[in-house]
Amino acid sequence: MALVLGIETSCDDTAAAVIDENFHVHSSVVESSIEQHQAFGGVVPELAGRAHVTTIAPVVRRALLDAGLDPTSPALTGVAVTSGPGLIGSLLVGLSSAKALALAWDLPYVGVNHLEGHLFAPLLEARDLEWPLMTLLVSGGHSLIVFQRGPGQHVVLGETIDDAAGEAYDKVARWLGLGYPGGPEIDRLAGEGSSKALKLPVSMIGDEYDFSFSGLKTAVVRATQANHEVALADVAASFQAALTEQLVRKLRSSLEHYEVKGVALAGGVAANSALRAGVTRLATEFGLVTHLPTMAMCTDNAAMIAAAGMYHLERGEASGLDLSARPNWHLTDVS
């Protein structure tokens, strides 16, 4: 049985996981340093890097033990690690660890693109996935619409021209005096408010499939400055509805032009209740299957990195020890 150890340290989560060639997850451990960043309203790169240094070894050990493997000499067939995009200091901790382990255990290893990892997440929960697939990948750092012919075969149709969707949630939450990360709190509050309370723009700026969220964020600031009486829950509901509307409209446009069998969500914002409902409605209208990952698979984890790594290692695409971290590695540059 082929077993790959995945390692993910691109942002604030230190993660390790073991999966097999059938994409069964044998273990998945995620240790977040988010509490250290909360006082600053966002991830502090230096703190994130230092946290990975102290956490990486115990997290890898736990993932190996949970998978029933000997942590000193595990019966693995390869190692996969996120080598970009992400925070340079954080990426280097995972990459150096993966290189050291691969060298010590005499295993091939491969550097994986973090976004390609997110695209593999639905495969870990629905192995009978039918292709092609349209995926909306929305997280704190990225927002993309991706057409996937099959695993590892992706075309980026559009992406954000300014803020990522999760970043917009986090910035609006900060403006409203809510905690970090702001997405879950806005989502909760939105359930108690009216989405019609504030008239906010649904931006259709940019190319057909591109997104723009910074205008919406400014509109929320202006609207709340002009109306001090408006309830927090109503602001949250109005903002969430406008942001979701843009995502769903662009997704609809992609489904009108590309023939697919299903629609998938990926990334942290995929946990959003309004987005999950909107995308499910849209897919049903088009007669398509919806793939909504569980929360653990929406957010950063190493099982998805191991899955992308398994795909590349099976094709003999191992990396050399001279591989560098690529903080700005774009999904379109993944070969």
- Piece of the chain touching ligand KG4 by CB under 6 A; list 24-32, 199-207, 262-270, 320-328: 262-270
Question: Is residue 113 a contact residue for Zn ion (CB under 5 A)?
Answer: no
Residue 135 host element (H or E): strand 133-138
Stretch that binds Zn ion, among 51-59, 60-68, 242-250, 293-301 (CB under 5 A): 293-301
- The dihedrals phi and psi of 167, each to the nearest 5 degrees, come to -65, -40
Please give the Cα distance from 200 to 207 (Å, whole number). 21
C-beta of 234 vs 300, nearer to ligand KG4 = 300
Q: Which stretch binds Zn ion (CB under 5 A): 16-24, 93-101, 274-282, 294-302?
A: 294-302
For residues 184 and 327, which CB has a smaller minimum distance to ligand KG4 in the complex? 184
Look at residue 224 and give the partner it binds from ligand KG4, Zn ion, none, a contact being a CB closer than 5 to 8 Å depending on partner kind.
Answer: none
CB of 300 to ligand KG4, least distance (A): 5
Residue (76 or 115) nearer to ligand KG4, CB: 115
Residue spans of alpha helices (H) in the chain: 34-37, 45-66, 88-105, 114-125, 165-175, 183-190, 214-226, 232-257, 273-285, 295-298, 303-314
Of the pair 78, 140, the CB lying nearest ligand KG4 is at 140
The reply to whether 300 sits near Zn ion by the rule CB under 5 A is yes
- Tell me how far, at minimum, the Cβ of 139 lies from Zn ion, in Å: 4
Is residue 139 a contact residue for Zn ion (CB under 5 A)?
yes
Of 140, 120, 156, which Cα lies nearest the Cα of 23?
120
Distance (Å, whole) CA 298 – CA 300: 7
Q: Does residue 214 sit in helix, strand or coil?
A: helix
From the list Zn ion, ligand KG4, none, pick the one residue 319 interacts with, judged by a Cβ distance below 5 to 8 Å according to partner type: none
- Residue 219 interacts with ligand KG4 (CB under 6 A): yes or no: no
Distances (CA, A) of 134 to 92, 158, 288, 293: 32, 12, 10, 14
Of ligand KG4, Zn ion, none, which one sits near residue 183, judging by CB under 5 to 8 A according to partner kind?
A: ligand KG4
Counting contacts by CB under 6 A, is residue 268 touching ligand KG4? yes
Tell me phi and psi for residue 301, to 5 degrees. -155, 165
Place of tokens 């849209």: 282
How do strand 143-150 and strand 78-84 relate by DSSP bridges? unpaired
Dihedral angle of Cα 290, 291, 292, 293, to the nearest 10 degrees: 180
CB of 304 to ligand KG4, least distance (A): 10
Three-state secondary structure call for residue 48: helix
Binding mask 113-152 for ligand KG4 (x = CB under 6 A): --------------------------xxx-----------
* Closest by CA position to 117, among listed 31, 13, 32, 259: 13
Dihedral (CA of 241, 246, 252, 255) sign: negative
From CA 309, how far away is CA 78, in angstroms rounded? 8
- With CB under 6 A as the contact rule, which of the stretches 29-37, 48-56, 105-113, 267-275 interacts with ligand KG4? 267-275
Site for ligand KG4 in 162-181 (CB under 6 A): 166, 169-170, 181
Residues that bind ligand KG4 (CB under 6 A): 11, 139-141, 166, 169-170, 181-184, 187, 267-269, 271-272, 299-300
